[in-house]
Structure 1
Amino acid sequence: MEKIIRIGTRSSELALWQANTVAHQLNHLGHETEIVKIDSQGDLDLKKPLYEMGITGVFTKNLDIALLNGTIDIAVHSMKDVPTVLPENIVQAAVLKRAGSLDVCVFKDNEDFFHQKEAVIATGSLRRKAQWLHQYPTHTIEGLRGNVNTRMQKLEDSNWNGAIFAQAGLQRVKLLPKNHVKLDWMIPAPAQGIVMITALDSNPELLEVCKEINHFETEICAHIERQFLNTLEGGCTAPIGALAFFKEERLIFKGALFSLDGKKKIEVDKLGYMVDHKDLGKKCAEDILQRGGKKLMVEMASGPKAKKILSTKQLSENQTELFDDKFGIKMSDFIAIRYNRIKPTILKSIKEHLVITSQNGVEALLHNFSPMELDFKNIYCVGRRTKRLIEKKIGKVTAVENTAEELAKTIANNKEIESVTFLCGDKRRDDLIDVLSLNAIEVDEIEVYRTILNERKFNDTFDGVLFYSPTGVQSYIADNDNKSAVAFCIGETTAEEAKKHFDNVEVAKLPSIENVIKTVNEYYK
């Protein structure tokens, strides 16, 4: 393949290791590659609105967007973190040979706690927690979140006896210490230890290239494990383990479903041949469901899982991990953004003072022009994230405030400013315009994006709903009547809209997604 293959990855140490391993294997076969780091939508050159690419539901992930948008050619993932059903037009292109599937317990002082009645073990995984409590019912489990490096540091700084990790992840970033024990009795997560490559189904030449590094036996094992998971309808709310492997040409599968407290376990152990693999995972899952698994899943769904929380925006994996373990989380994008076409003549007419109140305004500019074409004397914006995106892609920010009203007051205090250009959406910020107008500052509005409401009806009743914009509230309310829920809002403007529909409204102390999640955790403490 003559074209350079752009490999999309997140920028964590483990993700880069995986991407560079894929690059090395492709390079070895004579293909030229380039690593492209994708961590946020700000890293993407969005050539189409997200809704036109089918990015509106639970698969709104930045690597998926990058693939569909043409920013990258292939994406590299830890397979255990990828949903069992891929977005439309995205396919599994290859998997690398499994490096190892086991979990390990890294301990601080010694291994004596394995034989003691009381011990404290840390993990953020429901699967690991349930299996540990099944094996050691008197031990205490502490929550542990973050990337591999962060979790290792938390263990070091704590008074825990140990913490559970995936062996492959620690080995890949050279963090596996001598003071660890392999947990060969613990059934791993489906596809644990497997690196997965995804690509578009419309690129047959590239798919043929990826086949050159595909490991067939690992592909079969991953298929069985993920089919097992998908049939059980498991995910982050159900402790499910699955492992398939070959031994002397025989195919062995072990799978299990646990209760959240580890007291109940329904397992299956099958021995077969290669020819059996297509429906093996499905048949094993159906066997578990018939032997009490279905009842156990219902119990977990309706049991003591404290609160059901809905986010009206798809969150990243790191953001999702900030929630306390006691919550059941659902996510769905309730709004999509359509970027308007901005003519070059409009760009030239922008006055020396430019106002941008959201990341959408920045994305709209980048959708129409390359960063090299964007040169503004003064830029004023709302929000630290918007500021970071502007300074990364466009240029220096003159002033930033937490709200549009505060930004307008800051601009008004500069007596030399007579007029500004405001890049807005169809849901413009009247509070900003009102303050500027009262101070005799002319506002030239340019609508650079439009907000599309993605209405969706939920059968579930949620205890809390997270909102990040007034339009998100409007989209949710259009199809759902849930006044008893607590509305958790990113800022006062969103809260004002929520108060029209909800009796109980909570506002984050600082306007960020992370602080909205923190507000939820503190509210239900």
Structure 2
Amino acid sequence: MTKKIRIGTRDSELALWQAHTVQHQLQQLGYATEIVAVKSTGDIILDKPLYELGITGIFTKTLDVAMLSGKIDMAVHSMKDVPTALPQGIVQAAVLERANTVDLLVHKGNLDFLNGEGTVATGSLRRQAQWLNKYPQHQVVDLRGNVNTRMQKLQENDWNGAVFAAAGLERINLKPETYINLDWMVPAPAQGAMVVVAMENDEFALDALSQLNHIETEICTYIERQFLRTLEGGCTAPIGALAKYDEENDTINFHGVLFSIDGQQKFEIQRTFDISEWKKLGFNCAKEILDNGGSELMADIKLKLKK
């Protein structure tokens, strides 16, 4: 184990926390490691909504290039940021045990706006659509940047609140007292999970990372990302998915949604499957939505996002 493993990461506080978590686990197994931090395009361009940038994997592309050019041996990502199709030569090597999957609303101490007019910030089409579905009288504004930047922007603007992933705020102890869990909001596929990718021909890195893999999280995120991939066809869209393993019954409970951008249209599926069906579960649920009107909505979303 004399080889030093170079762990690539974005340079935000949350991304570095995730990389150091992987580093600590590898070091406990006896591996020598170092952290290599880079700034991604998604962290640099903050004045446009993500869907307008037209780049798949905007937070992962820089690290992909660093790995393909031999500057790093592996990269750590929030799994929900990773495209469902990885670049040629790069493979998923480990999915760590999942954290909290819930979205939450950070507000300014007064929730009266929920019963009237209000303004909520988020950079996510999925969160925007679900918020407008529940609160059609509200305005949703774009919010970009890493977790710290977004929290700061919330304080600097006159918005009533902003939507965050609970896992991100909890990991870097940034969750304030003024929040409510949005239990009704279906999370992004793989939300709360961390993934580590490596080169498919790097047996040393793949062997090391295989020891960090959490099989239950791997299966559930596979189902969610298969649902996403089948629905979207390479397009950003308001899609949520959550698969949960029921150990007592050896089943998977799945909840998937597809919304129109304005939140007015909603396709939803909730199913319980035997664990033996997991490999096609996401695909079958997505096909059911597509075959019942979802394909027309996806075509409309793609058209709107091109304008």
TM-score using structure 2 length:
0.90
Partner of 1:180: 179
Distance 2:31 2:97 in 1: 19
Distance 2:56 2:148 in 1: 27
In structure 1, what residue type is equivalent to 2:28? H
Given that residues 121 and 161 in structure 1 are in contact (C-alpha distance below 8 angstroms), is that contact kept between their aligned partners in structure 2? yes
Distance 2:232 2:7 in 1: 31
Distance 2:139 2:206 in 1: 47
Partner of 1:72: 72
- The CA RMSD measured in Å over matched residues stands at 1.8
Higher relative contact order (CA 8 A, sep 6+): 2
1:23-49 per-residue CA deviation (whole Å, 9 max, x = no partner) reads 0111111212111112269xxxxxxxx
Distance 1:284 1:147 in 2: 32
The alignment status of 1:128 with 2:127, answered yes or no, reads: yes
Given that residues 234 and 240 in structure 1 are in contact (C-alpha distance below 8 angstroms), is that contact kept between their aligned partners in structure 2? no
Partner of 2:232: 233
**Rg comparison, structure with higher value:** 1
Q: Alpha-carbon deviation of 1:209?
A: 1.2
Q: Alpha-carbon deviation of 1:236?
A: 6.1
Distance 1:83 1:92 in 2: 11
Q: Alpha-carbon deviation of 1:206?
A: 2.0
1:412-443 per-residue CA deviation (whole Å, 9 max, x = no partner) reads xxxxxxxxxxxxxxxxxxxxxxxxxxxxxxxx
Q: Alpha-carbon deviation of 1:235?
A: 5.8
Query: Pairwise mapping of residues 261-300 of structure 1 onto structure 2 (< 5 A)?
Result: 261-300=262-301
Given that residues 170 and 176 in structure 1 are in contact (C-alpha distance below 8 angstroms), is that contact kept between their aligned partners in structure 2? yes
The alignment status of 1:37 with 2:37, answered yes or no, reads: yes
SS at match of 1:245: strand
Partner of 1:97: 97
Q: Alpha-carbon deviation of 1:68?
A: 1.3
Question: How many equivalent residue pairs?
Answer: 290
Distance 1:39 1:299 in 2: 34
Distance 1:228 1:257 in 2: 10
Query: Pairwise mapping of residues 319-330 of structure 1 onto structure 2 (< 5 A)?
Result: none
Distance 1:257 1:40 in 2: 28
1:362-396 per-residue CA deviation (whole Å, 9 max, x = no partner) reads xxxxxxxxxxxxxxxxxxxxxxxxxxxxxxxxxxx
Q: Alpha-carbon deviation of 1:280?
A: 0.5
Partner of 1:200: 199
In structure 1, what residue type is equivalent to 2:303? S
Partner of 2:211: 212
Distance 2:40 2:243 in 1: 34
In structure 2, what residue type is equivalent to 1:16? L
1:482-524 per-residue CA deviation (whole Å, 9 max, x = no partner) reads xxxxxxxxxxxxxxxxxxxxxxxxxxxxxxxxxxxxxxxxxxx
Distance 2:283 2:232 in 1: 11
Distance 2:160 2:26 in 1: 42
In structure 1, what residue type is equivalent to 2:221? A
In structure 1, what residue type is equivalent to 2:133? H
Given that residues 189 and 240 in structure 1 are in contact (C-alpha distance below 8 angstroms), is that contact kept between their aligned partners in structure 2? yes
Q: Alpha-carbon deviation of 1:111?
A: 2.2
Partner of 1:161: 160
Change (3 A) 1:58 1:126: closer
SS at match of 1:35: strand
In structure 2, what residue type is equivalent to 1:301? K
TM-score using structure 1 length:
0.53
Distance 2:197 2:236 in 1: 25
Distance 2:260 2:120 in 1: 18
Distance 1:263 1:61 in 2: 33
Partner of 1:446: none
Given that residues 95 and 218 in structure 1 are in contact (C-alpha distance below 8 angstroms), is that contact kept between their aligned partners in structure 2? yes
Partner of 1:61: 61
Given that residues 235 and 302 in structure 2 are in contact (C-alpha distance below 8 angstroms), is that contact kept between their aligned partners in structure 1? no
SS at match of 2:188: coil
Partner of 2:11: 11
Partner of 1:497: none
1:220-253 per-residue CA deviation (whole Å, 9 max, x = no partner) reads 0110011101001256631000111112332111
Distance 1:234 1:195 in 2: 23
Distance 1:225 1:300 in 2: 20
Distance 2:202 2:118 in 1: 53
SS at match of 1:63: helix
SS at match of 1:26: helix
Partner of 2:140: 141
Q: Alpha-carbon deviation of 1:213?
A: 0.6
Q: Alpha-carbon deviation of 1:198?
A: 0.4
In structure 2, what residue type is equivalent to 1:142? V
Identity of aligned residues (%): 57
Q: Which moved more, 1:222-231 or 1:240-249?
A: 240-249
Q: Which moved more, 1:210-219 or 1:1-10?
A: 1-10
SS at match of 1:71: coil
Q: Alpha-carbon deviation of 1:72?
A: 1.0
Change (3 A) 1:40 1:244: closer
Given that residues 79 and 195 in structure 1 are in contact (C-alpha distance below 8 angstroms), is that contact kept between their aligned partners in structure 2? yes
SS at match of 1:298: helix
Partner of 1:23: 23
Q: Alpha-carbon deviation of 1:136?
A: 1.1
Q: Alpha-carbon deviation of 1:272?
A: 1.3
Q: Alpha-carbon deviation of 1:302?
A: 2.9
Q: Alpha-carbon deviation of 1:65?
A: 1.4
Given that residues 90 and 201 in structure 1 are in contact (C-alpha distance below 8 angstroms), is that contact kept between their aligned partners in structure 2? yes
Change (3 A) 1:119 1:234: farther
Q: Alpha-carbon deviation of 1:300?
A: 2.1
Q: Alpha-carbon deviation of 1:255?
A: 0.4
